[in-house]
A and B are shown apart, each in its own frame.
Chain A
Amino acid sequence: MGHYILVLLDENRLERIKGSDVENNIKAMFGGELKCIEVNVPEELSQKILKTFDTARIDARGAITDLPVAFMREFFNQIAEKKSIGPEVIEATLAKADQIKELAAKESEYLPPPDIQI
């Protein structure tokens, strides 16, 4: 059974992938109100993710969940930079595992708030 990572997209993220092939993979939830991408993860990389990040797990739908927020941010950054959802974005994210782990350790105490007008 293949695994995947669900990447949520808000207006800001949609803007960053606008015009790329990644747009063709956007799925809609909640009547189109929430956009997301399901990024397929090859088995070898799934195992590597699970081994690298001890909070990660595979849920009943086959989704890899409970990844550090720092991982998810970097993962989307790689998608936006490479305009791709291929294995190379997973590999590029995993290449920054040490940096992500460092951020993940801090993120149990601090998470940068979104820059929105209150």
Chain B
Amino acid sequence: MSSLLIERPLPHGGRLVERVVRDKEVAKKMIKGCPSYDIKPTLHYETGVPVRNVYREIMSICYGFFSPVEGSMTQAEVERILKERRLLNEWIFPFPLVFDISKEDYKKLGVTKGDRLVLNLKGKPFAILDIEEIWEIDNLEEFAHRVFGTPEDNPEVVKHKFDKKHPGWVIYRSHQPVVLAGKYTIINEPKFRPPFDRFWFPPRKCRAKFDELGWRTAIAHQTRNVPHVGHEFLMKNAAYTGDIEPCHGILVNAIIGVKRRGDYPDETIVEAQEAVSTAGYIKPERRLVSLCLWDMRYGNPLESLLHAIIRQNMGCTHHMFGRDHAAVGEYYDMWATQILWTKGIPSFGFDKAPTDVPYGVHIRPQNMREFAYCPVCKEMAYSETCGHKREGISGSLLRGMVAEGVQPPSVILRPEVYKVVVKWWKHFGYPFCNEKYVRDKERDLEVDLEDL
């Protein structure tokens, strides 16, 4: 076999974390006599609107998406991440992940180091947290700034100081001050509601699915959107990257979490992505749609690092990154993600690309520019290849069309994708997330739990 063939990388950290107890009798014994706590959504520090639910982090940690992270982080681990973006075991990781509660709740709970706390979700036992340390975040605003960087400390990529207009900054600013650190274990597996259930491919299952499909190489595509034809061409063309042949598969991984008004509903996103395959634009044998639970931090280069870790854990060999990857506003340089993967960002702890530093990631970045429609070529054309004036597909143009009930032409939005938009529009009475959707989603979440 050719020495140029690329093999599927090991999970980040060397092994997949899987902290799920599936035997109910064992689970019952594990929680007998333990204090319990009802998981609460993190509410916006000013408006009180839900901005995060830690259950999504517990799910992603326990099913291995965030391997090698195993739980809520200790103070030393968070400090190391904020300084060097590394865990205490040396492996690189971009964001602090903590189980935070209010001082009032902490007093009421009366737990100490060494205690086992049962975490309830929707009134049912869900997971346990074995408390190793209890610590406090002194200054939440400073904490939030340190998470994302500042123009002074990270001048290579941070252009503007973060503030309350940035949803990720708001998440960290809205944390509660007391952190219960320790490993999580899920003791009552939640069941995803349709349509999410058929897109649930946690890392072990995803790797097995790749085997079943015969994929040695797979390129990941990050999404939080309904795919237009520009996205489709990005996927198709990025997938030509591989080794001696194009990637065998494209893993579309939708980040599912708290929504903002104006986003497309998550149900629409996953089914619209699926429609691209079922309608044959990219055949299902070469494309798999999946999801990962995470309340997006919109951390552009930092978020891209998390995405790389998630998708390496899922078994991907490559990851495509575009302009303004997982970005909102103009806080970061629009090419910050590509800078990270090209030469590193020293102020974030990477004097080389994250693939080239010790204990780094092994997934291969594919930095892509843009696709837009060329009326001369009469096709979606790549910005670095086509020499004509092109017409970009802007999200606002598409959203305006959808809102007016004008069906976008198939050259910019596939009719099968539009039908999915309309299907969920009829269901929710609105094509985008409105206040009711956002409120109901954070009440109902994506899962249900059975009695233990």
Contacts and interface: CB of A to CB of B under 8 A. Distances in A.
Interface string A1-45: 000000011110100000000000000011111100000000000
A9 B405 CA distance: 10
Contacts of B375: 30-32
- Which of B404, B407, B423 gathers most chain A CB within 10 Å? B404
A95 interface: no
A112 B412 contact: no
Contacts of A114: 405, 407, 422
A65 B404 CA distance: 13
Interface in B423-439: 423, 425-426, 429-431, 434-436
A109 B411 contact: no
B32 interface: no
B410 interface: yes
Q: 10 closest Cβ contacts across the A-B interface?
A: A33-B409, A114-B405, A33-B411, A113-B425, A31-B375, A10-B406, A8-B406, A113-B426, A110-B429, A69-B403
17 contacts: A10-B406, A10-B407, A11-B407, A13-B406, A30-B391, A31-B375, A31-B378, A34-B411, A65-B396, A73-B405, A108-B434, A108-B435, A110-B429, A111-B403, A113-B429, A118-B423, A118-B426
Given A33-B410, A72-B404, A109 B430 contact: yes
Interface of B: 373, 375, 378, 391, 396, 400-401, 403-412, 419, 422-423, 425-426, 429-431, 434-436
A112 B373 CA distance: 30
A118 B417 CA distance: 11
B5 to A, nearest CB: 40
Contacts of B405: 73, 111-114
A118 B415 CA distance: 10
Contacts of A72: 404
Contacts of B430: 109-111
Contacts of A60: none
Contacts of B403: 69, 111
A100 to B, nearest CB: 14
Given A8-B400, A34-B412, A110-B430, 13 more contacts: A10-B406, A10-B407, A30-B373, A30-B375, A33-B409, A34-B411, A65-B396, A73-B405, A109-B436, A110-B429, A111-B405, A113-B405, A118-B422
B59 to A, nearest CB: 30
Contacts of B431: 111, 113
Contacts of B419: 116, 118
Interface in A52-76: 65, 69, 72-73
A112 B181 CA distance: 48
Contacts of A30: 373, 375, 391, 409, 411-412
Nearest to A116: B422
A110 B167 CA distance: 25
Contact of A111 (B391, B410, B425, B435): B425
B426 A9 contact: no
Contacts of A9: 406
A108 B431 CA distance: 10
Interface string A81-118: 00000000000000000000000000011111110101
B399 to A, nearest CB: 10
Contacts of B434: 108-109
A30 B401 CA distance: 14
Contact of A31 (B373, B401, B406): B373
Contacts of A34: 408-409, 411-412
A32 to B, nearest CB: 8
Contacts of B408: 34
A68 B436 CA distance: 19
Contacts of A109: 429-430, 434-436
Contacts of B429: 109-111, 113
Contacts of A65: 396, 400
Contacts of B436: 109
A29 B422 contact: no
B404 A8 contact: yes
A96 to B, nearest CB: 17
